[in-house]
Amino acid sequence: MCSGFFTVSTNSNMEFVDITEQAQKVVKAAETAEGLLCLFCPHTTAGLTINEGCDPAVQRDMLGLFRKMIPQSYPCRHAEGNSPSHMMATLTGSSVTMIIASGELRLGTWQHVFFCEYDGPKSRKVFWKVLPG
């Protein structure tokens, strides 16, 4: 099994969900000692990022700054009314790639992997692929 997906359920309109444990489970299940893990978010109003995971204030600050940079009051033309969510997803991006070393994700001391919801609450997918090597 070198590719697949897992689901992420979000509980509010905007939130960061720590998916580090799910990503590590993918690596364990793939039984790959060395290589890369690529995660991809197929949603245009959500994203992925790697950032500080030990202090939840960082995620709150990021969301607050995103709201300030991309105000909901801007007169967007998109009929669904969620253009700010699309813009925020562009800021974080749709994929992250991590090194696998000795069967573990090679993340920095404070780094965690986050699913970034900007148009929830929803049930979302994260696609993954393990590249041995």
How confident is the model over 14-28, as pLDDT tens digits? 999 999 999 999 999
The CATH superfamily label for domain 3-132 reads YjbQ-like (2.60.120.460)
- Asked if 47 contacts 101 with a C-beta cutoff of 8 angstroms, the reply is no
**Cα atoms in the 13 Å half-sphere on the side-chain side of 99:** 6
Give tens-digit pLDDT for 42-66. Answer: 999 999 999 999 999 999 999 999 9
Give tens-digit pLDDT for 55-114. Answer: 999 999 999 999 999 988 878 788 777 899 999 999 999 999 999 999 999 999 999 999
- The pTM of the full predicted model, rounded to 2 decimals, is 0.94
Nearest to 93 by CA among 128, 50, 123, 122: 50
Nearest to 114 by CA among 84, 89, 79: 89
Residue with the bigger pLDDT between 1 and 129: it is: 129
